[in-house]
Amino acid sequence: MRIAVAGATGFLGGHLADHLGAKGVSMVPIGRTEDAATLAQNLAGCDALINCAGEKSGIGSAAEDANVALPERLFLAAAAAGVPAFVHVSSVAALTSATHPGETVSDDYRGQPTTPYGISKRRGDDRLSDLAPSHPATRLAILRPPILIGADAGGPFAMLRAAARRGLPLPIGGTNNRRSIVHVDNFAAALLAAAEAGLAGTYIVTDSAPLSTAEFHARISRALGRKPRLFSIGGAGRGFLRRLLGQRGDSLFGDAAFSGERFAKDCPLDWPVPAVSLIERAVAP
């Protein structure tokens, strides 16, 4: 099998490249600025194109190019080259970045994204979905992960891991929120499985049940051989600190729970990293 990958040098793309290599799949890296002739040449004979490229801020022309224009250009090039499968990496932020307590968002969610990044990714997703019916020979799969974790991950996971390594006490005791995660190696496996199956449609991908931030941090701490150091500041205190910290406060105290059951049903696979050891593998040096 021969798979083209855009964004192969990024965090997710690097893990996907490793996974493809381990599976004996030939990978063709695709640059963001390739001209039409080079792109057509690189896509010739490929069984799929997986787009891992993106821009995290969601703001400005760079985001418009990476999250909207580039996916469109890649999909049309894949269709013109006769590539049978196009797999696009989106984000649950294209649906929403926050859920209500006790709510689990699934693929049939009808709300709108609430952050610049989510809005930008949704624009790209919608553009691809509009194009797909005119190019039925290239099956389009859009996969939406929640927070990606891994030994080299950044974002909220890196923040909690750094605090645990330093033994810093955190004011998240008693936090009962629910946040979904997926290990980056499991998501890489999902991308390959979707390409191999010629999956079509838009899917949330999760590999485990949501965790509270307190549970998440406690597991990270234990995996590092440390005792979790958590204390409670009560509901009012948590609300104040959440507002004070802005986006980081939302990551610590807010809910973002998603269901990947539909993907698991339509594209079943054995996760490389089992749910029982997700955190432990993600904090490994």
For the stretch 115-161, pLDDT in tens is: 999 999 999 999 999 999 999 999 999 999 999 999 999 888 888 88
Q: Which 3 state secondary structure label does DSSP give 219?
A: helix
Res 120: pLDDT: 97
Q: In this predicted model, which residue has the larger pLDDT, 228 or 89? A: 89
What mean pLDDT, rounded, does the chain reach? 93
- Structural domains of the chain sorted by starting position, each given as residue range(s) with its CATH number in brackets: 2-150+181-207+257-273 (3.40.50.720)
The partner residues of 5 in beta bridges, in order of sequence, read 29, 50
- Which of 38, 122, 116, 117 has its CA nearest to residue 74? 38
Task: Decide if pLDDT at 76 tops 70.
Answer: yes
Give tens-digit pLDDT for 262-276.
999 999 999 999 999
Indicate the pLDDT class of residue 251, thresholds 50, 70 and 90: confident
Q: What is the rounded CA–CA span in Å between residue 244 and residue 234?
A: 15
Fill in the DSSP letter of residue 2.
E
Rounded Cα gap, residues 121 and 32, in angstroms: 17
* Two structure tokens written together for 88: 């696009």
Quick one: average pLDDT of 36-62?
A: 95
Higher pLDDT, 232 or 41: 41
- Listed in order, strand segments (DSSP E) in the chain are 2-6, 26-30, 48-51, 85-89, 139-144, 147-149, 181-183, 201-204
State the pLDDT at residue 157: 85
- pLDDT, residue 249, reads 73
**Predicted pLDDT of residue 127:** 97
For the chain, count helices (H), then strands (E): 12, 8
Please check the confidence at residue 285 and state whether its pLDDT lies above 70: no
Average pLDDT over residues 31-51: 96
| CA dist., res. 118 & res. 57, Å (int) | 9
Per-residue pLDDT band for 29 (boundaries 50, 70, 90) equals very high
* pLDDT number for residue 221: 93
Query: pLDDT tens digit string along 189-246?
Result: 999 999 999 999 999 999 999 999 999 999 999 999 999 888 887 878 777 777 877 7
Task: State the Cα–Cα distance between residues 245 and 34, nearest whole angstrom.
Answer: 40
pLDDT classification of 253: cutoffs 50, 70, 90: confident
